[in-house]
Chain A
Amino acid sequence: EPEVTQTPSHQVTQMGQEVILRCVPISNHLYFYWYRQILGQKVEFLVSFYNNEISEKSEIFDDQFSVERPDGSNFTLKIRSTKLEDSAMYFCASSLYRRTERGYEQYFGPGTRLTVT
């Protein structure tokens, strides 16, 4: 069964450093997402991506964040200058998409635990 994969599983970085989190969505999916989950809190939407551009973003997704689909398979989340409060589990997700249908479920990767020290 196809699945979303993410690398690395755990990333430790110092405050102010740049990090890139990588995801490989399910191959025939067209819609991609990043969510995050701060320890003990709910899963929060960051950004969605379709047709090589951001479709939506939340208030959390400020200028320090960016996303990219550099090739036909990878989908990345970059944090330019990490802060302590960026420490969280970051989940990538993907789904099929049709303009007239919003019922497709999203499939999540196992997550990358980011620790900013």
Chain B
Amino acid sequence: AQSVAQPEDQVNVAEGNPLTVKCTYSVSGNPYLFWYVQYPNRGLQFLLKYITGDNLVKGSYGFEAEFNKSQTSFHLKKPSALVSDSALYFCAVRDIYGGSQGNLIFGKGTKLSVKP
């Protein structure tokens, strides 16, 4: 079965410093990987995705993610964090096992806190 793990419940970063939010996955076959962000009292906003091609994927708000097949990871990164990046971040994999039409399987989320 497909699964996603986000090993950190919370990540604390100082503004201006680089940030990394970790995600590892377990899938059968090629993965379809996504990052979403959830601001307080808001829905999930799509940030970026990896389907195929370059391992470094660029997305919204200056975020990027690196797909690493050997480590089965898809870590979210940003070179310089902003206080406004503080939110809950979810990694997700598209469930295509057994003919599934593609519902998302989410990690438990990582709370990012950026301090001034």
**A contacts, CB < 8 Å to B:** 4, 6, 31, 33, 35, 41-45, 48, 50, 55-56, 58, 91, 93, 102-103, 105-111
Contact = CB atoms under 8 A, between A and B. Distances in A.
B42 A102 contact: no
Q: Which of A31, A35, A42, A109 has the most chain B CB atoms closer than 10 A to its own CB?
A: A42
B56 interface: no
Nearest to B101: A55
A63 B92 CA distance: 27
Per DSSP, are chain A's interface residues mostly helix, strand or loop, or mixed? strand
A111 B43 CA distance: 6
Contacts, number: 63
B94 interface: yes
Contact of B51 (A35, A91, A103): A103
A33 B105 CA distance: 13
B49 A107 contact: no
